[in-house]
Amino acid sequence: MAKSLEMTFLSELGKPTKLSVDNPIEPIDPEAVKAAMEQIIAANAFIGNGGDLITADSVRLVERNVTDYELM
């Protein structure tokens, strides 16, 4: 089962931009994640849809199951 931490930021124009981190350390520490998101914003590390990222909007842990099938 693949897991990723999905962080959503809002840009200057209010548009959401998602940043995903594969295989995050669990349990998730919301305070540490918020601090990391604030550092990303302060460093202007990424430009999102609609300009610079200005707000940490939400975070969620996403799990997905992948099943490969052999083609015959």
Res. 66: pLDDT tops 90? no
Measured in whole angstroms, the distance separating CA 31 from the mean position of its chain's CA atoms is 15
> What does the pLDDT look like over 20-33, one tens digit per residue?
999 999 999 999 99
Task: Determine the Cα–Cα distance for residues 61 and 7; give it in Å rounded to an integer.
Answer: 9
Q: Which pTM was predicted?
A: 0.85
Identify the pLDDT of residue 32: 97
What confidence tier does 52 reach under pLDDT thresholds 50, 70, 90?
very high
* Other beta carbons within 10 Å of 68: 4
At 10, is the pLDDT very low, low, confident or very high (cuts 50, 70, 90)?
Answer: very high
